[in-house]
Structure 1
Amino acid sequence: MGTVDDSLADLPELERLSLQRVIAVARTLVPEAEDGMSYGMPALKLDGKPLLGVVAAAKHLSVFPFSPAVVDAVADRLKGYSLSKGTIRFTTDHPLPDDVLEDIVRLRRAEIQK
Protein backbone atom coordinates (compact mmCIF):
# COMPACT_ATOMS: atom_id res chain seq x y z
CA MET A 1 0.00 0.00 0.00
CA GLY A 2 1.06 3.56 -0.54
CA THR A 3 0.68 6.82 1.33
CA VAL A 4 -2.87 7.47 0.11
CA ASP A 5 -4.14 3.97 0.88
CA ASP A 6 -2.43 4.00 4.28
CA SER A 7 -4.03 7.35 5.11
CA LEU A 8 -7.51 6.06 4.26
CA ALA A 9 -7.15 2.65 5.95
CA ASP A 10 -8.49 3.68 9.36
CA LEU A 11 -11.58 5.54 8.13
CA PRO A 12 -15.05 4.09 8.66
CA GLU A 13 -15.86 1.68 5.83
CA LEU A 14 -18.31 3.80 3.82
CA GLU A 15 -16.08 6.87 3.94
CA ARG A 16 -12.99 4.84 3.09
CA LEU A 17 -14.71 3.16 0.14
CA SER A 18 -16.01 6.49 -1.17
CA LEU A 19 -12.58 8.11 -1.09
CA GLN A 20 -10.89 4.99 -2.46
CA ARG A 21 -13.30 5.18 -5.41
CA VAL A 22 -12.16 8.74 -6.12
CA ILE A 23 -8.52 7.69 -5.97
CA ALA A 24 -9.19 4.61 -8.14
CA VAL A 25 -10.74 6.76 -10.87
CA ALA A 26 -7.74 9.09 -10.78
CA ARG A 27 -5.28 6.19 -10.85
CA THR A 28 -7.08 4.66 -13.83
CA LEU A 29 -6.91 7.90 -15.81
CA VAL A 30 -3.40 8.85 -14.68
CA PRO A 31 -1.60 5.59 -13.91
CA GLU A 32 1.74 7.37 -13.66
CA ALA A 33 0.50 9.44 -10.69
CA GLU A 34 2.40 8.81 -7.49
CA ASP A 35 1.19 8.65 -3.90
CA GLY A 36 2.16 11.53 -1.68
CA MET A 37 1.00 14.25 0.63
CA SER A 38 0.10 17.80 -0.27
CA TYR A 39 -1.02 20.50 2.13
CA GLY A 40 -1.14 17.84 4.83
CA MET A 41 -3.58 15.57 2.99
CA PRO A 42 -3.15 12.32 1.10
CA ALA A 43 -2.81 13.12 -2.58
CA LEU A 44 -1.81 11.76 -5.92
CA LYS A 45 0.98 13.70 -7.59
CA LEU A 46 1.93 14.08 -11.21
CA ASP A 47 5.29 15.46 -12.26
CA GLY A 48 5.86 16.46 -8.64
CA LYS A 49 2.67 18.55 -8.50
CA PRO A 50 -0.53 17.65 -6.65
CA LEU A 51 -3.11 16.10 -8.95
CA LEU A 52 -5.92 15.29 -6.53
CA GLY A 53 -6.27 15.15 -2.76
CA VAL A 54 -8.95 13.61 -0.57
CA VAL A 55 -10.01 14.17 3.02
CA ALA A 56 -12.70 12.88 5.36
CA ALA A 57 -14.14 15.54 7.66
CA ALA A 58 -16.71 15.13 10.41
CA LYS A 59 -19.77 15.69 8.18
CA HIS A 60 -18.51 15.34 4.62
CA LEU A 61 -15.81 14.06 2.32
CA SER A 62 -13.73 16.38 0.17
CA VAL A 63 -11.92 16.24 -3.13
CA PHE A 64 -9.23 18.82 -3.73
CA PRO A 65 -8.19 19.25 -7.36
CA PHE A 66 -5.75 21.98 -6.22
CA SER A 67 -7.20 24.33 -8.81
CA PRO A 68 -10.01 26.88 -8.60
CA ALA A 69 -10.22 26.75 -12.42
CA VAL A 70 -10.97 23.02 -12.36
CA VAL A 71 -13.69 23.47 -9.74
CA ASP A 72 -15.17 26.33 -11.80
CA ALA A 73 -15.10 24.18 -14.95
CA VAL A 74 -17.35 21.50 -13.42
CA ALA A 75 -19.38 23.63 -10.99
CA ASP A 76 -22.47 23.79 -13.20
CA ARG A 77 -22.62 19.97 -13.10
CA LEU A 78 -22.43 19.83 -9.31
CA LYS A 79 -25.71 21.36 -8.21
CA GLY A 80 -26.48 20.21 -4.68
CA TYR A 81 -22.82 19.84 -3.71
CA SER A 82 -20.90 22.23 -1.51
CA LEU A 83 -18.13 23.93 -3.47
CA SER A 84 -15.46 26.41 -2.55
CA LYS A 85 -12.48 27.87 -4.34
CA GLY A 86 -10.54 24.61 -4.54
CA THR A 87 -12.75 22.03 -2.84
CA ILE A 88 -15.71 19.84 -3.71
CA ARG A 89 -17.58 18.38 -0.74
CA PHE A 90 -19.79 15.30 -0.93
CA THR A 91 -21.13 12.50 1.25
CA THR A 92 -21.31 8.73 1.01
CA ASP A 93 -25.03 9.12 0.26
CA HIS A 94 -24.37 11.70 -2.47
CA PRO A 95 -21.10 10.71 -4.20
CA LEU A 96 -19.57 12.61 -7.08
CA PRO A 97 -20.79 11.39 -10.48
CA ASP A 98 -18.12 9.36 -12.28
CA ASP A 99 -18.19 11.51 -15.41
CA VAL A 100 -17.61 14.68 -13.39
CA LEU A 101 -14.86 13.04 -11.37
CA GLU A 102 -13.18 11.89 -14.58
CA ASP A 103 -13.35 15.41 -16.00
CA ILE A 104 -11.84 16.84 -12.81
CA VAL A 105 -8.88 14.48 -13.14
CA ARG A 106 -8.46 15.14 -16.87
CA LEU A 107 -8.63 18.91 -16.43
CA ARG A 108 -6.12 18.90 -13.59
CA ARG A 109 -3.79 16.64 -15.54
CA ALA A 110 -3.93 19.04 -18.48
CA GLU A 111 -3.10 21.98 -16.19
CA ILE A 112 -0.07 20.19 -14.77
CA GLN A 113 1.23 19.07 -18.15
CA LYS A 114 0.82 22.31 -20.10
Structure 2
Amino acid sequence: MGDAATSIDEYLARVDPAFRAELERIRRLVTRLVPEVEEAITYRMPTLKYGDRALVYFTASKKHMSFYPSSWAIEALRDSLSGYKTTEHAIQFTLDNPLPDELIEELVRFHVREIDGSNDGR
Protein backbone atom coordinates (compact mmCIF):
# COMPACT_ATOMS: atom_id res chain seq x y z
CA MET A 1 0.00 0.00 0.00
CA GLY A 2 2.97 2.31 0.44
CA ASP A 3 3.69 5.11 2.83
CA ALA A 4 0.84 7.27 4.06
CA ALA A 5 0.65 10.78 2.65
CA THR A 6 1.88 13.51 4.98
CA SER A 7 0.12 16.44 3.26
CA ILE A 8 -3.04 17.01 1.28
CA ASP A 9 -1.00 17.78 -1.82
CA GLU A 10 0.81 14.46 -1.47
CA TYR A 11 -2.49 12.62 -0.95
CA LEU A 12 -4.06 14.24 -4.01
CA ALA A 13 -1.01 13.48 -6.16
CA ARG A 14 -1.74 9.77 -5.60
CA VAL A 15 -5.44 9.97 -6.51
CA ASP A 16 -6.95 9.23 -9.93
CA PRO A 17 -6.73 12.53 -11.87
CA ALA A 18 -10.49 12.70 -12.44
CA PHE A 19 -11.17 12.28 -8.71
CA ARG A 20 -8.30 14.64 -7.88
CA ALA A 21 -9.98 17.53 -9.70
CA GLU A 22 -13.22 16.98 -7.78
CA LEU A 23 -11.46 16.79 -4.40
CA GLU A 24 -9.46 19.91 -5.24
CA ARG A 25 -12.73 21.70 -6.04
CA ILE A 26 -14.04 20.78 -2.58
CA ARG A 27 -10.78 21.86 -0.95
CA ARG A 28 -10.92 25.27 -2.69
CA LEU A 29 -14.59 25.75 -1.84
CA VAL A 30 -14.17 24.99 1.87
CA THR A 31 -11.03 27.14 2.04
CA ARG A 32 -12.89 30.02 0.39
CA LEU A 33 -15.80 29.65 2.85
CA VAL A 34 -13.54 29.34 5.91
CA PRO A 35 -10.21 31.00 5.04
CA GLU A 36 -8.70 30.23 8.45
CA VAL A 37 -8.82 26.43 7.96
CA GLU A 38 -5.60 24.54 8.52
CA GLU A 39 -4.67 21.56 6.40
CA ALA A 40 -3.67 18.22 7.88
CA ILE A 41 -3.77 14.51 7.31
CA THR A 42 -5.83 12.82 10.01
CA TYR A 43 -6.71 9.12 10.01
CA ARG A 44 -4.90 8.98 6.62
CA MET A 45 -7.45 11.41 5.16
CA PRO A 46 -7.13 15.00 3.97
CA THR A 47 -8.52 17.15 6.75
CA LEU A 48 -9.43 20.81 6.91
CA LYS A 49 -9.37 21.93 10.53
CA TYR A 50 -11.14 24.88 12.10
CA GLY A 51 -10.72 25.98 15.70
CA ASP A 52 -8.37 23.05 16.40
CA ARG A 53 -11.11 20.61 15.31
CA ALA A 54 -11.68 18.69 12.11
CA LEU A 55 -14.15 20.66 10.01
CA VAL A 56 -14.23 18.25 7.06
CA TYR A 57 -12.39 15.25 5.71
CA PHE A 58 -12.49 14.09 2.08
CA THR A 59 -11.25 10.92 0.42
CA ALA A 60 -11.14 8.96 -2.82
CA SER A 61 -11.83 5.25 -3.20
CA LYS A 62 -11.76 3.18 -6.36
CA LYS A 63 -15.34 3.90 -7.40
CA HIS A 64 -16.47 6.88 -5.35
CA MET A 65 -15.37 9.77 -3.18
CA SER A 66 -16.47 10.61 0.35
CA PHE A 67 -17.03 13.88 2.16
CA TYR A 68 -17.12 13.92 5.98
CA PRO A 69 -18.72 17.16 7.23
CA SER A 70 -19.80 15.80 10.70
CA SER A 71 -22.58 13.50 11.73
CA TRP A 72 -24.57 16.52 12.98
CA ALA A 73 -24.45 18.24 9.59
CA ILE A 74 -25.48 15.04 7.81
CA GLU A 75 -28.41 14.55 10.16
CA ALA A 76 -29.51 18.19 9.93
CA LEU A 77 -29.44 18.19 6.12
CA ARG A 78 -30.60 14.59 5.59
CA ASP A 79 -33.44 15.67 3.24
CA SER A 80 -30.93 17.37 0.92
CA LEU A 81 -28.82 14.19 0.78
CA SER A 82 -31.46 11.79 -0.53
CA GLY A 83 -29.59 11.31 -3.83
CA TYR A 84 -26.40 10.13 -2.08
CA LYS A 85 -25.34 7.11 -0.08
CA THR A 86 -24.62 8.23 3.47
CA THR A 87 -23.23 6.72 6.62
CA GLU A 88 -23.30 8.30 10.05
CA HIS A 89 -20.20 10.34 9.20
CA ALA A 90 -19.82 10.34 5.41
CA ILE A 91 -21.53 11.23 2.17
CA GLN A 92 -20.46 9.16 -0.81
CA PHE A 93 -20.57 10.68 -4.28
CA THR A 94 -19.28 10.05 -7.79
CA LEU A 95 -18.19 12.08 -10.78
CA ASP A 96 -21.62 11.37 -12.29
CA ASN A 97 -23.34 12.62 -9.13
CA PRO A 98 -21.05 15.20 -7.49
CA LEU A 99 -21.91 17.25 -4.44
CA PRO A 100 -23.19 20.69 -5.53
CA ASP A 101 -21.35 23.74 -4.20
CA GLU A 102 -24.48 24.94 -2.41
CA LEU A 103 -24.84 21.66 -0.51
CA ILE A 104 -21.18 21.64 0.51
CA GLU A 105 -21.56 25.24 1.68
CA GLU A 106 -24.62 24.36 3.81
CA LEU A 107 -22.86 21.37 5.38
CA VAL A 108 -19.70 23.36 6.12
CA ARG A 109 -21.57 26.36 7.53
CA PHE A 110 -23.61 24.07 9.77
CA HIS A 111 -20.47 22.45 11.16
CA VAL A 112 -18.74 25.81 11.66
CA ARG A 113 -21.73 26.94 13.74
CA GLU A 114 -21.52 23.72 15.78
CA ILE A 115 -17.79 24.22 16.42
CA ASP A 116 -18.26 27.87 17.28
CA GLY A 117 -21.09 26.98 19.66
CA SER A 118 -19.05 24.34 21.46
CA ASN A 119 -16.08 26.72 21.76
CA ASP A 120 -18.34 29.37 23.35
CA GLY A 121 -19.09 27.01 26.22
CA ARG A 122 -15.48 26.52 27.27
Q: TM-score, normalised by structure 2?
A: 0.86
Give how far 1:108 is off: 1.0
Which stretches of structure 1, 4 residues or longer, exceed 4 Å deviation after superposition?
none
- Size of the aligned set, in residue pairs, is 112
Partner of 1:28: 32
Deviations 1:80-108 (A, max 9, x none): 21001010000011100111100111111
Q: Aligned pair 1:61/2:69, yes or no? A: no
Q: Aligned pair 1:111/2:100, yes or no? A: no
Which residue type is aligned with residue 44 of structure 1? L
SS in 2 for 1:53: strand
Q: TM-score, normalised by structure 1?
A: 0.91
Query: 8 Å contact 1:26–1:102 — kept in the other structure?
Result: yes
Query: 8 Å contact 1:36–1:45 — kept in the other structure?
Result: yes
Give how far 1:10 is off: 2.1
Which residue type is aligned with residue 74 of structure 1? L
Q: 2:43 aligns with which of 39, 43, 46?
A: 39
Question: What percentage of residue pairs aligned between the two structures are identical?
Answer: 37
Gaps of 5+ in 2: 1-5, 118-122
Which residue type is aligned with residue 76 of structure 1? D
Query: 8 Å contact 1:5–1:20 — kept in the other structure?
Result: no
Query: Which entry has the higher C-alpha Rg, 1 or 2?
Result: 2
Give how far 1:18 is off: 0.7
